[in-house]
Amino acid sequence: MSFSTFGLSEEIIRAVTECGYTVPTPIQSQAIPAVLAGGDLLAGAQTGTGKTAGFTLPILHRLSDKRIKGPFSGRPPIRALILVPTRELAAQVEESVRDYGKYLKLTSMMMIGGVNINRQITRLKSRVDILVATPGRLLDHVQQKTLNLSHVEILVLDEADRMLDMGFIRDIKKILALLPKQRQNLLFSATFSDEIQLLADNLLNKPVMIEVARRNATADKVTHVVHPVDRDRKRDLLAHLIKQHRWSQVLVFTRTKHGANKLSEYLVASGIPSLAIHGNKSQSARTQALMEFKAGRMQVLVATDIAARGIDISELPHVVNYELPHVAEDYVHRIGRTGRAGSEGDAVSLVCVDEYKLLTGIEKLIKRDLPSQIISGFEPDPHIKAEPIVNGRRGGSSVISTRNQPKSRTSAKPTSKRPMGFARPAATHATAARRPGGRGR
C-alpha cells in the first residue's frame, strides 16, 4: 500500500514523498480513510506510530477539497483546531502541517504559552485555516476576543490522555462550548482510561474505533533493562553508563523540575554536555535545548514527563528513567521516545529500593517482566530501608509509600548479590556492556 491509494491530492502526495515517506504505518492505513469519510474517530496509538500524519494528511485533503462554509463576517475563519497538551508537541504537529501542506493554499499557526501573545494576535488578523494550540493560551485569546471558533469544521484532541492527566479537562469543556455542534471530532490517546472513555462518550458521535496495538504496549524493538542501585548513587551510575558505553544521544527522565536541573548540573560537572528542559524554563530556552539535542550537539537532555511530550527524534537510541514515574502509563510514554517507527532503542531504568512498588506496577501494566542487571561497583546495599516518595504531580501533596514491598519481589533473606525486592536473579556484571557504543552511534 502507498499513500496514493487513499485518494489524497497530488499536492499532498508530492509533499509526503519529499519527506521520505512511501509506505503508511498501521495507524495511518486505518485513520486516513476514516477521517476522509468525515465521521468521528477514536484512535488508540502509542507515540512514534505516525499518528500525526494519520490525521493531518486527511485534514489537509478535506479542507483543500471543499469551500469554506459561510456565512461569516470579517477575515476567513479557523476551520480545523488541533488541541495538544504541550508546547513542544504543538511545534511538532504544526511543523508537520506545514510540511505536508506546502503545496496547498492552506495556512496554519501554532498558539502556545510562554511567548509574546501580541505576535499571535497580529498573526490572527490574517488567514489561519488550521490552528494548533495548547488549551491555556487558546482560552487567553478567547478571553481577549482575538479568536473566533464558531466555524471550526474539524476538532482534534491529540494525546488526550496526557491533557486529562495535566488537568486540562475544564479548559477542554470550555473550548468545546465555543465550537459549532456540527463538526468532525478526532480523539487520539495512547491509553484508554475510564476518564478517556467518558470524554469520548460525551464528545464523539458513533465514532470509528481504531487501536493499532495492544493497550499500553511498548515497541517491539525496544530493549528494556533495570539497574538496581542505591538512591544516592544513581547519578554516579548514570554518568558511568554514559561514559562507558559512549552514548551519544540520551534522553533522561526525572520526576521534578528541580531534580532535572540538579542532575543536568552534575552531568556537566562530570564532563558530559547536558541541558534540562521543563515547565519552568522559558520557551526560548526549551526550544534551544531541543534544537541542540536534535542536532546531536547536546549529549544528554534531562526532562520531566510533561516537557518531553512532543520530542520527536528519529532513531533516538537511549531513554533513561533516572527516576520511575508515579503513574505506570508514563513509563510507556517515556520509552515511546525511542524505538520509533520500527527503529531500535534502549530503555534503561535506574531503580532504588524506594521504587520497587512502582516497578511492579509498570510490569503489571505492560504485562512483562523487565530484566534486572546489577552493574559491578554499584551493587545496592540490602540494609537500606525504603523511604516514601513525595508525589509532586499536579501540585498534590500525597505520598506514595513503598515500605511494604510486594510479595513477588520480597525476600526475607536476600542473597549478598541480589538487592532486596528483586525476586529474579540479576544478570552477570559483565553483560552490562551489551553493546558498546550503543547501536554504533
For the domain 222-433, what is the CATH code?
3.40.50.300
The dihedral formed by the CA atoms of 300, 304, 309 and 315, expressed in degrees to the nearest 10: 20
DSSP for 101-139 reads TTTSS--EEEE-SSS-HHHHHHHHTS--SEEEE-HHHHH
Q: Which three cell numbers stand for residue 71?
A: 456565512
Q: Which fold has domain 3-211?
A: Rossmann fold (3.40.50)
Cell triple for 402? 513503598
How far from 162 is each of 92, 155, 286, 397, CA to CA, in Å?
16, 17, 19, 20
What's the rounded Cα separation, in Å, for the pair 271 and 249? Answer: 15
Most confident of 34-43, 46-55, 157-166, 417-426: 34-43
Q: What is the pLDDT of residues 72-90, one digit of tens each?
A: 666 678 999 999 998 888 9
Q: Does the bond joining 71 to the residue before it have cis omega, within 30 degrees of 0?
A: yes
pLDDT at 437: 36
Q: Which three cell numbers stand for residue 346?
A: 534502549
269, exposed or middle or buried, with CB in 10 Å at 0-12, 13-18, 19+?
A: exposed
Average pLDDT rounded to a whole number, residues 362-379 = 93
Q: Does residue 185 carry a pLDDT above 90?
A: yes
- One fold for both 3-211 and 222-433? yes
- pTM of this structure: 0.63
Give the SS3 label for residue 209.
Answer: strand
Spans of all domains in the chain: 3-211, 222-433
